[in-house]
Amino acid sequence: MVLMTTATAEPASQADQAPRPVLMKGNEAMAEAAIQAGCDAYFGYPITPQAELLEWMARRMPELGRVFVQAESELGAINMALGAAATGARVLVSSSSPGMSLMAEAMSYMAGSEVPMVLINVMRGGPGLGSIGPSQADYFQATKGHGHGDYRVPVLAPSSISEAVALTADAFEVAERYRTPVIILADGVMGQAMEPVVPVYRTPAREPAGWELTGAVERDPRVVRSLHLRPEELEAHNHHLQAKYAAITEHEVRWAGEDLDDADIVIVAYGTSARVARTAVERAREQGLRVGIFRPISLWPFPSAELAAVALGARAVVVVEMSAGQMVEDVRLALGGRTPIFFHGRTGGMVPTPGEVVEAVVHAAAVTAPHLAGHPSPDGTKAVTR
Amino acid sequence: MSTLTSDTRRVIYQRPEALVDTSTHYCPGCGHGIIHRLVAELLDEMHLAPSTIGVASVGCSVFAYDYLAVDFVESPHGRAPAVATGVRRVRPDAFVFTYQGDGDLAAIGTAEIVHAAARGERISVIFVNNGIYGMTGGQMAPTTLLGQHTTSSPAGRDAGLAGYPIPITEMLALLPGVTYAARGSIADPPLIGRTKAMLRRAFQVQLAGAGLSIVEILSTCPVGWGMTPTEAMAHVAHDVVETYPLGVMVDRLKVPATGAREA
Amino acid sequence: MVIAVNQVFQPLDIDAAHCKGCGLCVDVCPHHLLELDTSIVNELGYHPTRLTDAAACTSCVLCARVCPDAVFTVFARPKGT
């Protein structure tokens, strides 16, 4: 049990002395960040490894006079969230991989109805019931649409608990700016681990936009819906959605780079995999390898142009994921086969070790020639998967 | 209403304000038209329209938001009680109802209605039971009668293959969170009047802040049943009520379900 | 909408354009004063209902209560008409 509860009650502060960091479990830190970001309502269902997020909300939301409901299932939770968000409330839902599958239907409805909310997926091993260990195997689910129909959902991937706290506020902002659900893609390591967090939070401003269901008092009734039976109308609506996604692609790309200035081997990794890769980079550089990390933070929109700018001239790209290879496909798309791509992944709840990543980098170095910028190797991709 | 200044006739009945002045897509003789009208009449009489947030579901009544002049959110099939829960929890002062058919409530949405009822959510559920899936072309519903012919029970519903019609409202009435549960029909004007009284009572229960209210309304699907509107009304009046009797199953506002005994 | 025809009070206004000819009002009128007018097909494609004898109508409102399309407006008959 962690003792930070009273300390985290501070709102965004301009204190003259910097607040002391507090040791927080990731699930609880993300929950508190949402509360401080102005979350009005939380709906959820217990599932490992994010039950602590629900439990934190169960205690804190009633304390603050806000809404908490443990629903009968993730299906119930996401639909409660849909109703609440349709009235303009700031809503959070959290779950883990199997529960996120239950939300696929509602994701499509939220995208079509343009209802904003934030969803946190603390990924676990799959497919099916899988394991309760951490994974990154929901990348496809999160970035390729989740449910049916033509739509995209912004996906933000923190790689530390502090970053998760900051991105939670960003997520509400992006959701409301574009009237879209936003997924924060975390994993079981981040949810369960404890790290120092500076309890300084951001509360995004609220700007009612005129679509919210508040009761038709002295105005025409409003309808929040995704049904447009006439094909011409639905096509026009889809064009509107696509224009929105184009705007998000232009303005909401997020990524970070480390040690890229002189790197000729670029590791591409996000979330916990990026944390592991950081240690691997230290060790690989000790061995004389010039390695850097390109860390996508927005998985959709994927930083394709930015990755290409960094990695097209590289000798090799090594993609590290806690999956059988999902983000690596977007890396391949971004680089167009012009840079050799190597992959290292662990599945089932296993976490790659820095040693494994170093081995993958060493292997990539061994089979590619140094400084062969612009010369693609014959076999552009080589998988190194256990 | 007359727009001629010389029209001195006194109105006894006219189309309610909350009913949008447009033609509906419902078939001739469809019960939805009558039930929408009753809801609109009550929204007018009880001055509820400005504070109402309705939850539309999936079925023939998917366009309810085009016909009732209140704020509406469209729900995925079956999820309306959960969507309504979300609305109700963040908008304590709103008047919230769901409008659902038999597939929406008693098939795909059974978990959602049971748990909204168990939680005693302060919403009013308008449950239109016409024993068939009209919108998708007339397939069997959980409330289809034994022996009834539908496109997915062409030989007539057989209990061995497809089970028995489900008395979902009786089941829900067992839950303490359900303050009011009743079944009416629209088979003739007196029954329509009694159904309207049930809906009024359900709305009053919500306004009193007391748990979930549900009114099941036996309705018609002339096209799906292969009957004229007249025949369809007779079918409801004489045949459907054998399986689904009319009446108030529970009114916990009148008779609190406690251990207290009358002196 | 017609107030009076040849001095006969009109107790019903019928929105014939929105009538779907379902016939429920024909069934329910206790004086059998309503019929579907087969000489007219409205824009929806139906024979709308019509009042055959305005003088005999008692403004009982049963037709309006059963109408799924709310086509009826019912007026009280003034004394002496």
> What's C42's domain CATH number?
3.30.70.20
Chain B contacts of A110, Cβ < 8 Å?
Answer: none
Whether the per-residue pLDDT at A249 is higher than 50: the answer is yes
Closest CA to B30 of C66, A151, A216, A54: C66
Quote the crossing angle between the two packed helices A104-113 and A74-86, to the nearest 10°: 10
Mean pLDDT value of segment A162-170 = 97
Does residue C3 lie in a domain region? no
**Once rounded to an integer, what is the mean pLDDT over residues B43-66?**
97
B114-156 confidence digits (pLDDT tens): 999 999 999 999 999 999 999 999 999 999 999 999 999 999 9
CB contact under 8 A, C27 and B6: no
**Per CB distance under 8 Å, which residues of B are interface residues toward C?**
1-2, 4, 6-7, 9-16, 19, 23-24, 26-34, 37, 188-189, 192-193, 222, 228-230, 233
Choose from A40, A68, A87 for mutation: most chain B CBs within 10 A: A87
Q: Do chains A and C touch (3 or more CB pairs under 8 A)?
A: no
> Regarding predicted confidence, which is higher, B43 or A375?
B43
What is d(CA A125, CA A96) in angstroms, rounded to the nearest whole number?
A: 10
Selected for mutation to probe chain B from C73, C79, C81 (highest B CB count within 10 Å) is C73
DSSP state of B248: E
pLDDT tens digits for range A201-240: 999 999 989 999 999 999 999 999 999 999 999 999 999 9
Q: Is residue C68 part of a domain?
A: yes
> Per the CB < 8 Å rule, is A225 touching B87?
no
C9 neighbourhood in chain B, CB within 8 Å = 9
- Higher confidence at residue A95 or residue C7? A95
More confident residue, B8 or A246: A246
User: Is C1 contained in some domain?
Assistant: no
Residue C80 lies in a domain: no
Please check the confidence at residue B263 and state whether its pLDDT lies above 70. Answer: no
Question: Sign of the C-alpha dihedral, residues A31, A54, B79, B180?
Answer: negative
Q: What is the mean pLDDT of residues A143-163?
A: 95
Assess if residue C77 is contained within a domain: no
A223 part of contact set with chain B, CB < 8 Å = yes
Calpha distance B192→A19 (Å, rounded): 66
For residue A276, give both structure tokens: 């592991």
Look at residue A337 in the predicted model and tell me its pLDDT.
85
State yes or no: chains B and A have 3 or more CB pairs below 8 A: yes
pLDDT grade, residue A110 (50/70/90)?
Answer: very high
pLDDT at residue A339 greater than cutoff 70: yes
Yes or no, beta carbons of C3 and B7 under 8 Å apart = yes
Q: Which residues 30-49 of A are in CB contact (within 8 Å) with B? A: 40-41, 43
Domain containing C59 equals 9-72
C72 closest CB neighbour out of B9, B13, B24: B13
How confident is the model at residue B200, as a pLDDT?
98
- What does the domain layout of chain B look like in residue ranges? 31-251
Q: How far is B40 from chain C (nearest CA, A)?
A: 11
Among partner residues B85, B95, B115, which is closest to A83 by beta-carbon distance?
B85
CA pair distance C39, B175, nearest whole angstrom: 55
What is the pLDDT, as a whole number, of residue C6?
Answer: 66
User: Among A241-245, A376-380, B137-141, which stretch is predicted with the lowest mean pLDDT?
Assistant: A376-380
Task: Name the residue with higher pLDDT: B6 or A132.
Answer: A132
In sequence order, which ranges of chain B are alpha helices (DSSP H)?
31-45, 64-67, 80-90, 102-103, 110-118, 159-162, 168-173, 189-207, 222-225, 229-235, 241-243
Structural domain count of chain C = 1
For residue A105, give how far its alpha carbon lies from the nearest alpha carbon of chain B (Å): 8
State the Cα–Cα distance between residues B82 and A94, nearest whole angstrom: 16
CA separation for the pair B104, B99 (Å, rounded): 9
Q: Is residue B213's pLDDT more than 70? A: yes
Instruction: Compute and round to an integer the Cα radius of gyration of chain C.
Output: 12
One-letter amino acid of B171? M
- The whole-angstrom distance between B6's CA and the closest CA on chain A is 30
Domains of chain A, earliest start first: 7-197 (3.40.50.970), 256-385 (3.40.50.920)
Out of A371-380, B176-185, C40-49, which region has the weakest mean confidence (pLDDT)? A371-380
Q: What is the percentage of chain A residues whose pLDDT exceeds 70?
A: 92
Closest-CA residue of chain C to B8: C3
Interface contact C74, partner B, CB < 8 A: yes
The upper half-sphere exposure of residue A36, i.e. CA atoms within 13 Å in the direction of its Cβ, equals 23
Q: Is C3 exposed, middle or buried (0-12, 13-18, 19+ CB in 10 A)?
A: middle
- Does residue C40 form part of some domain? yes
Query: Of the ranges A236-240, A331-335, A381-385, which one carries the lowest mean pLDDT score?
Result: A381-385
Residue B70 near residue A217, CB atoms below 8 Å: no
Domain B31-251 = CATH 3.40.50.720 = no
The answer to the question of residue C55 being in a domain is yes
Residue A65, pLDDT > 70, answer yes
pLDDT at residue B77 in the model: 95
Q: Is B19 on the interface with A (CB under 8 A)?
A: no
